[in-house]
Structure formats: structure tokens, C-alpha cells
Amino acid sequence: MALISTSIALKAQFFILAAIIISLISIFLGTTEYAPETVSLFSTEGSVPLEVVFAVFFPAVTGFTAGIAMSGDLKNPKKSIPLGTLSAIGIGLVVYLGLAVFVAFSVNSEILKTDYNFLMKMALFSPAVVAGIWGATLSSALGGILGGPRILQAMSLDKVTPKIFGKGKGGNNEPVNALFMVFLIAEAGILIGELDVIARVVSMFYLTAYGFINISYFLESWANPDFQPTFKIKRWIGLLGFIACFAVMFKLDMVAMIGAFAIVAVLYFALQRKEVKLQSNDVWRSVWENVVNKGLKKIAAKDDENSNWNPNIILFSGQSKHQYYLLELCKTVSGRTGIVTNFKLILGKENDKPFKKTEQIVRDDTFSDLGIFARQIKVDIIYKGITNIATTFGFSGVEPNTIMMGWPKGLENSEEYSQMTETLLHLDYNLLYLDFDKKTKFGNYQSVDLWWRETDSKNAEMMLNIARFIIASPKWQNTKIRVLFVNNNNVDNAVIYSKISELVDSLRVIIEIKIIDNAVEQIPFYNLIKQYSGTTDLTLIGIPNYKIEQQAEFILKTNDLFETIGSTLLVKAANNFNVLDLNFIKNE
């Protein structure tokens, strides 16, 4: 019938429906000679488990999806599908519950357990019962044999399944190829030969489908602004339906449930691998956008004062063959949750138009593999561009709080660089400058030195936080970290050691403490660094407070230091860091 014409198959449903109605009338008007003397509605004696009853009964009530599968053949699917689906569920519920109560009062329980043909014996006209059974069977079969091929055909047109099943015949584009495939699948199920086994298998796949229909509705209505169904229901009903479906699956057969999940997972990853693109929005993109939106609102609503440092870094890595090392260290310093955005600054000609928004996004495996966002913009002057980005870039909840770049050698007399530094300090950014040793690089990633002095009250805490992130990185996890404190005031070393140990323990970072007595010799700070950190893989040094006119002198001294030691990270902490008390004279 389905091969000949969809129209004929649908019209046949009217005769089938008439047969079912006649059989029900025949049953309800049947004899009462098998009626029990008393009815125990809530007796559990000799009953079979609920999951067995459910698995056998459930496939009988899945026909209401036939209208959904036939949506392409409906004149007004927006109206017909909600009305027809809910009507089918409602009428089916009344009929099944009514029949169950009627049979309980009309047939002895022993007959119910032993005689599967009791309906024919009690019916007013027994052939009508046979007609009803055939009608119900044919109705479900026709629903599946009409709907299944159309779903397969639609999937083939979307390039999900082989395109051979997308081909149709006739004016209505009848899915003949898909029909034969569905027939083979159905025949394979029939050859199982055990109706109860077939029922359990069918139940699992239907429940899986219904579960994902429910969660799809919930996710779409929650996250996708374009999802505007004409038939409105509360979104939590979709979530409740999803939970209910898989709770029932777990109760019915946990192994079968895991098998169903496995099949869905295989299909999902297969489609991901094929990179199937449909003419619709990706619900998961909408979901993540919604999660991010709500998360940002939560973060922005809370005062972050005295909270742990979570680095959100604006990175200016430049362009060189050693760029990857700066990217790598920046991602290490940002920790697991920090956000790093790398800006590539391109010197543009005067009055040159800026990049379009889509052109500003840099998609490069170098950045994506490290989890770094990348942008490119045109600027007239490099350091003016850095200032503009630091002033304007960011969004609520995850405002950037740190600027990181390579150490600028040869800029001691640059007015633009001085103005940039002054602005960054005024904006209260944490500043990180990396002088990368092109020969030793980061060595074996096994030693990190933190240099402290009395004036490093804010920088010290930031260095400890950086050390905490560094040792969490796989490459640095076996590193040895030292805190080197220069004792210029002849303070008792035990007092210094006790205080630094207390500071270090509060951050739960295993660190070796080395105190350098310098009260007598008064060796310059940078000379001590050269002496003790000459072979260190990474050295962290605090940038002292100095007037902007002293910048040239500071840069020249620092350049000289970098000629002697390996890769070095200069640290300047913002005001949000706590002041660590490194003045030990008063503590003695």
C-alpha cells in the first residue's frame, strides 16, 4: 500500500479505525459470565514486575508520532501536529485506562493470567475482536512504514545518511529507496522471533528518541533566541521529560540503556567527523553563549576585592621564530581558567582603513592549540596602539587585568614607550615583561628563582601566584622553586625565614627559601642576581617603583643584567594585590 500511494495508505487508516471502534464496542457490550465475585484493584499477588509490563505495553502507545513523521504531507502541519498528537495521546489514554478497569471488573484474574484469547470469549461478536487486533497492528505498521522512510529521506537530503535514500519517485517524491531500507530493518527485527524481546528493544529506542526530543526542546527554548514555536509549553517540561525517559530506561534495562547511549554516541561522533552542516543554527553554540552570558552576569555582580588572582592577560607577542615560547609561558602564567588574548599589531599607512571585525579574528593552530584567542589590528604607532587596546579592550566579568609583552631593548630614550608605561601604570594593570634567552630558552624547565627585597611588598605576592600556576603546568611540574631574599639590614635570618615560610605556606607552594646576607658588603641587587641565578631556567624579578624620568637608567641596568642570566620575567603588580610585609626590622 505504501509503495502504491501514500494517499491510499492514509485512506486505509479510516477503515482500520472503524474496525478498532467496532471491536471496542463489541468488547464493552460483551458477556459478564467471567466476572469475578470481588475485585482487588491494588493486589500484587502473582504480579509480574512493572518494568516487564511497561516494556511490553509501551510500544502500543508510540503511534502518536506518526503525524510528526508525516509532517511534509500535511496541509497545515503547524496546526495539525499539536492538535493531532495531543488528541491521539488523550484518546489513547482514555481507551487504555477504560479498557483496563473494565476488564478488571469483567474477567476473573486467573483467566487473565492464563488465557490470552479471553477478549474473544467475552466479546459480543468475537470476529470483531480479531478485526480490531489486525486493525491496531496494521495501523502501527502503516504509521512506521510511512513515517520511517520519510525521516530517512529527509536525513539523506541533509547529507546525514547516504544520498541514495534521498531519491524519490512521482509527483509527491515518494521515498521508495528509503522504504525498502526500512522494510529490511523491520524484517530483521521480526526475525528475532520473540515478541517480548522485540518490545523491549523497541521500547529502548523509542525512549531514547523521546528523551532527546525533550532535551532538544529544553535546550532550544532556553538558549536559542530564534526558537519560537507556535505551540507554547513551559521549557522545564522538556527537562522533566528527558529525565523521566532515562529514569525509565535505567529501571527497564541498564545494559540496554548503555547500549542505546553507545549507539547515539557513535552516530554523534560520526556526524561530527563528517562535519555535516544543516541550514539551521547550532543549538550547542546557543547553549554555550547562554551559559557564558549568565556566568558573566554572576561574576560581574560580585565584588572581586580580596579574591584570588585570576589572570586575564592581554598579550603582545610580536612576530619572531621564538614567539611560541612567549605564548607558552603566557598560557602557563594564566593558569587553567585565565583568558589570554594575543594582539598582532600591524603598522598601517596614514588614513588606512581598519580591518573589518571578521578580519580581526586570527585563526591559527599556534594559538588555538594553546587555548589563546588572537586578534590583529592596524595601528599608526605600536606603543600608542598598545595604550589604546589596554584602555578599551575587555567586557564585564572578565576584564583583562594583566599586560604581557617581550622586554623592549633599546627603548630607553623612547618617549612613546615612556608614555605607554605611564598609562599602563595609571590604568593599574599587572605588567609582565619577558626577556627570552634565545640560546638557553627555558632550559630544562627545572628551576625558577623569585627575587625579593624590602621594596617588593606587592610584587612578592604576585610572584607566588605565578609560581603556583607554573608548577601546575605539565612542563614545569618537576621544577625547583627558590625564594631569594636579600637581607640588607642585618635582620636575624630566623625571623626572615619564619615570616617568608608563613607567606609561602598560605599559598601551598613548595618553595626553598634562601636568605642572602648583604648588610656588610652592600653588593648591588642586580650583581647578586647575576651571582646566584646565572644558570636558572626562569628568573622572576620585581619592577621597583621609580619616577618616569628614571626609566632610561632602569632599562639600561636591566639590559646589562639580561646579558648575564637566562630567561627572565619582570613583574609589576597592580594595587589589587595584598601588601606582603617584607620589612623585617620591626619584627625582630
How open is the CA angle 288-290-291, to the nearest 5 degrees?
A: 65
**At a CB cut-off of 8 Å and minimum separation 6, what does 575 contact?**
428, 458
The verdict on residue 557 lying in a domain is yes
| Strand-pair category, 312-316 with 339-347 | parallel
pTM over 0.75: no
The verdict on residue 348 lying in a domain is yes
- If asked whether residues 346 and 489 sit together in one domain, one would say yes
177-210, pLDDT tens digit by residue? 899 998 898 888 888 887 777 777 777 888 888 8
* C-alpha dist (Å) from residue 525 to 24, 352, 484, 518: 99, 47, 11, 9
Return d(Cα 585, Cα 23) in angstroms, integer.
101
pLDDT confidence tier of residue 569, bands split at 50, 70 and 90: very high
* C-alpha dist (Å) from residue 479 to 446, 466, 471: 4, 13, 7
- If asked whether residues 390 and 246 sit together in one domain, one would say no
- 167: domain CATH number is 1.20.1740.10
pLDDT confidence tier of residue 582, bands split at 50, 70 and 90: low
Return d(Cα 73, Cα 13) in angstroms, integer.
15
264-300, pLDDT tens digit by residue? 888 878 877 766 555 555 667 777 777 777 777 776 6
Mean pLDDT of the chain: 82
- 506: domain CATH number is 3.40.50
pLDDT confidence tier of residue 580, bands split at 50, 70 and 90: low
Q: What are phi and psi of 494, to 5 degrees?
A: -65, -40
**546 lies in which domain range?**
312-572
Higher-scoring residue by pLDDT: 307, 496: 496
Return d(Cα 570, Cα 396) in angstroms, integer.
28
The verdict on residue 586 lying in a domain is no
Over 60: is that where the pLDDT of 258 sits? yes
- If asked whether residues 261 and 354 sit together in one domain, one would say no
- If asked whether residues 172 and 63 sit together in one domain, one would say yes
524-534, pLDDT tens digit by residue? 889 999 999 98
| Strand-pair category, 568-572 with 430-435 | antiparallel
What is the number of domains present in the chain? Answer: 2
Q: Smallest Cα–Cα separation from 481: which of 491, 489, 495, 470?
A: 470
Q: Where are the alpha helices (DSSP H) in 167-304?
A: 176-190, 195-223, 235-252, 254-274, 283-301
Question: Residue 18's pLDDT is what?
Answer: 92
The verdict on residue 294 lying in a domain is no
Look up residue 216 and give its three cell numbers: 532538544
Question: Residue 25's pLDDT is what?
Answer: 93
Sheet holding 512-517, edge to edge: 373-379, 339-347, 312-316, 402-406, 430-435, 568-572, 538-542, 447-452, 480-487, 512-517
Return d(Cα 447, Cα 449) in angstroms, integer.
7
Question: Residue 421's pLDDT is what?
Answer: 85
- If asked whether residues 254 and 346 sit together in one domain, one would say no
Average pLDDT estimate for 441-452: 90
Tell me which amino acid residue 144 is.
G
- If asked whether residues 376 and 261 sit together in one domain, one would say no
- If asked whether residues 267 and 321 sit together in one domain, one would say no
Question: Residue 581's pLDDT is what?
Answer: 60
311-329, pLDDT tens digit by residue? 889 999 877 778 888 898 9
- If asked whether residues 241 and 321 sit together in one domain, one would say no
107-162, pLDDT tens digit by residue? 888 888 888 888 888 889 989 999 998 988 888 888 888 888 888 888 888 778 88
